[in-house]
Structure 1
Amino acid sequence: MDNEQKLTYLASFSHFITHGYMTLLPAVLVVIAADHAMSFMDIGIIANIGYFLYGLGAFPAGHLADKYGSKRVLTIGVFGMAIGSLLVGFSPTIITFGIAYSILGCFASIHHPAGLSLIARRIKSKKGKALGLHGVLGNVGLFLTPLIAAGCTLLFNSWRAAYIIFGVIGIIFAIMLYFIRIDSEPDLAIFDLISRNRKKDKEIAQQLPNTTEEKQQPQKYIIPASLLMLYVGSILSGFIFRGSLTFFPTLFQREIHFITNHDQPVVIAGFFTTAVLSLGLISSWFGGYINDKIKRPELFPMILFVAVAPALYLASRFTDNALLFAAALFSLFFYAWQPAQNYLIAKYTRKASHGKGFGINFFLIFGVGSIATASGGYVADNYGIDRFYWFMSLVALVAIGAAWAVYLLQRYQFRFSWQLAREEEGTT
């Protein structure tokens, strides 16, 4: 296995386990709410905090990945997620559950800027294919987790078992990630992270993309207009992603009668959520593959949302088998968006700033998009969960316009007369 294949699989499995951690809560949401006598609004607020931190942490994670190396930061993230998952599993009260879930969200925020910058920097050819595989394994985490969580709840008669099992798996993978070597990527060593020794800093600078010459030459601060519109699309898509993913199991339990009347509605809803989300494997792979082939990748997200908007509307109107069909249609198209978005973020950001670019992107997707959990919980309590899917169809219509603007504005840039630069050490 060559270096590019190795780093692709490591980053992709990290994506798998990250989405696994953050999908456990939707899968057992109904059980936790009943266990603690909480409303959907209350648990939605806790989830909102965790998901917001999941996005907010992407800011510093992207900066650290650019400065210290993607593999180093990714290793810390995997270790932290594993510990956070164990803390959630053993939390005795709803307060400690909320604190532990916040810790899990903080460390989970590291993967996307670190893992994707690792691929964007080190993959020289077939970058779209690597991003596609990354997306596929992320979706494997999405669709397998509800089934695993439901199975653990049934087998151990406790929602906690799923978090504990995932925590153990995470520790094993973190140890593997620590010892596996990747060319040109510095490995995790605590001394290197806290030392301010100039020799160590020089060694790191040689391994990471060098921007010294750029800093020495005064230049204008330039932001591609298309990049800003990509970030607008991130907010809209993040809302749809978090809202649909969080409430699919609940929607199925409420609106599909053979699930509602079953002896184990949580297990059956988890099974059908898994089946629906598994279609995202096809779209994730295709979303990465097609970007290596087409001349105008900016148009691809717009085409996807043209299909996503009616699929969400139909999901809000249908019940039983028709609802399953609408949900499957949504999954088949929507999950092609992420690898396409990652491809465009890499295209419109400088190599030395990939970590920051992905950090901003995933803060908007997971941080700002996390308001879908609290708002969805409010709508579910007061109007019915189906109304929330109707609202998300309107968000998808706006996303069509944002995606179209990315294509229209690709030749435009915002230029500023000031320069954003960091003061070098030793200067006053």
Structure 2
Amino acid sequence: MRDNDRAIVTFTGLAHGLVHTYELSIPIFVVVWLTEFPVTTALLGTVVAVGYGLFGAGALPGGVLADRYGSNLLVTACLVGMGASFLLLSVAPGVLTIAIALGLWGLAASVYHPAGLALISTGVEERGTGFAYHGMAGNAGIALGPLLTALLLLAFDWRVVAALLVVPAVGAVAYALTAEFDETAAVSTDGGEARDGDDGPPASVGEFLADSRALFTTGFALAMLVVTTNGLFYRGTLTFLPDILGGFLPPVTEFVRVFEPGSPLAEEFDLAFYLYSGLLTVGIAGQYVGGKLTDRIETTTGLAAVFGGLAVVALLFVPAAEAGLAPLLAASVLLGFLLFTLQPLYQATIAEYSPPGDRGLSYGYTYLTNFGVGAAGAAVSGYLLAAVGVSGTFLGLAVFPALGLVFAVTLWRLDE
């Protein structure tokens, strides 16, 4: 990779890792909040869905702003806002304040993906590799966020932990203020030139609507359906997964002899947190493989294969968990690997169906769909858990990758 490519990947990778550090620390806090406050999984799932929904809802205006003002300013503002929201979370006296803090986090974090991915798609010449490393950095945050949160919860109250999580954002802002790179270095090497009449970001509501109508070709619309099914399954699966895993795992004292049964440390050490973090760590390999595949095969072929695998894993996850620890670990590894292999595949697909001048807008729609509509997956899984239990929840969630397979195959046939 060239110096400009490396500078962009470093900048976006750091920010991406922090976005997901905060995002995936929330399910760890959910386990604590379920015992700390008199709430049901249905209510708390809805509260979390509000924050995650705003994480997606702000992506579209974020994409428009990225096209107009560039990515550096947007990403820096994102980092500042996320740190401030977790500072508010650290003083939350109840569920209402938690909902407000998560909502503010969602709005701040929402601008990252359209800004960061637009930057990679227009500034990094080795785009597939850039997406791969960017995704790996995100998964490092996805894995380290819950792991760091779980470890800190061994020693501190959850509010103190939320305050300590502000520190990385402060450091990232300091770095962001020094980053320099050419945001459009790769436009000439993009998969194609901008469409006729593509003269940059929309300057008015009328131009925004015109650009949006032009963007939504049949191919782009199908790609949005692919992104929707991914978002619903991603959020529906991960939000309550630490709590679900805890129902299948034996006490930690059966594995780690340094803990005395019934000791305070044994009670605080939740083995499910660490299996959850391990599952997310496996996603780093998935991101790398998915990114490399975008440079070697048709993205629609990769999407179809991964969605099919996820549907099978969802159907077999609970039977595997009930069969013992080894099958549960195997199912968790497959889930983590496949879930994150999807991301660079659909990100590259979006780039193929959108012009460079509207790349921020296209990723704005992508993450409005992925995280905004996808946030409903948290509420869906919360209500399914309350109504039909864990087995019924995974059967219901399996519908989403099955639909993703159908949409990916349809998109592949459209390109024939």
**TM (normalized to structure 2)?**
0.87
Please point out which of 349, 357, 362 is paired with 1:352.
357
Question: For residue 140 of structure 1, what is the aligned residue in structure 2?
Answer: 140
State which of 349, 363, 366 in structure 1 corresponds to 2:368: 363
How far 1:25 sits from its partner (Å)? 1.3
Q: How far apart are 1:382 and its partner, in Å?
A: 2.5
| 1:243-322 paired onto structure 2 within 5 Å | 243-258=236-251, 263-264=266-267, 267-294=270-297, 296-318=298-320, 319=322, 320-321=324-325, 322=327
How many pairs does the alignment contain?
384
Greater shift, 321-330 or 284-293, is seen at: 321-330
Cα shift at 1:161 = 2.9
**2:225 corresponds to which residue?**
232
Is the 8 Å Cα contact of residues 253 and 265 (structure 1) preserved in structure 2?
no
Given residue 131 of structure 2, which amino acid in structure 1 is its aligned partner? L
Choose 97-106 or 375-384, whichever is displaced more.
375-384
Aligned residue type for 1:234: V
Per-residue CA distance 1:40-83 (angstroms, 9 max, x = gap): 11111110100100000001000000011111111111111111
Equivalent of 1:398 in 393, 400, 403: 403
1:221 matched residue in structure 2: 214
What one-letter code is carried by the residue in structure 1 that aligns with 2:130? Answer: A
What is the deviation of 1:212? Answer: 10
- Kept in 2: contact 1:291–1:343 (CA 8 A): yes
Deviations 1:82-111 (A, max 9, x none): 111111112222211211110011101111
| 1:142–1:347 Cα change, 3 Å | same
Deviation at 1:255, TM superposition (A): 2.2
Corresponding residue for 2:412? 407
**Hey, what's the Cα distance between the residues in 2 that align with 1:265 and 1:327?**
23
Answer whether contact 1:13 1:137 (CA < 8 A) is retained.
yes
Query: What's the Cα RMSD here?
Result: 2.3
Q: Is the 8 A contact 1:224 1:410 kept in 2?
A: no
Q: Distance in 2 between matches of 1:222 and 1:107?
A: 25
The code of the aligned residue for 1:232 comes to L
The Cα offsets for residues 135-176 of structure 1, whole Å up to 9 and x where unpaired, read as 1111111112221111111111x1223321221210220121
For structure 2, the residue ranges without an aligned partner over 5 or more in a row are 185-192, 201-209, 255-260
Shift of 1:383: 2.1
Q: Is 1:171 matched up with 2:170?
A: yes
The structural deviation recorded for 1:258 is 3.8
Identity rate, percent: 25
Deviation per residue, 1:357-395 (Å, 9 max, x gap)? 111111111111111111211121232133211211122
Question: Residue 114 of structure 2: SS of its match in structure 1?
Answer: helix
Say if 2:237 and 2:381, in contact at 8 Å, map to a contact too: no
> Amino acid of the residue matched to residue 242 of structure 1?
R
SS of corresponding position for 1:409: helix
| Alignment partners' CA distance in 2, 1:259 and 1:312 | 26
Write the letter of the residue equivalent to 1:403.
Answer: A
With normalisation by structure 1, the TM-score equals: 0.85
After the TM superposition, which of the residue ranges 268-277 and 176-185 deviates more from structure 2?
176-185
State the SS of the aligned residue for 1:299: helix
Deviation at 1:242, TM superposition (A): 0.7
Deviates more, 1:166-175 or 1:50-59: 166-175
Tell me if structure 1 keeps the 8 A contact 2:290–2:341.
yes
For residues 374 and 224 of structure 1, what CA distance do their matches in structure 2 show?
A: 31
Q: Which amino acid aligns with 2:145?
A: T
Contact 1:62 1:356 in 2 (8 A): yes
Cα contact 2:299–2:346 (8 A) shared by 1? no
User: Residues 276-319 of structure 1, C-alpha deviation per residue, up to 9 Å, x if partnerless?
Assistant: 2211111100110121122x222111011121111111113232
Structure 1 unmatched runs, 5+: 186-208, 412-428
Structure 1 residue 184 displacement after superposition: 4.9
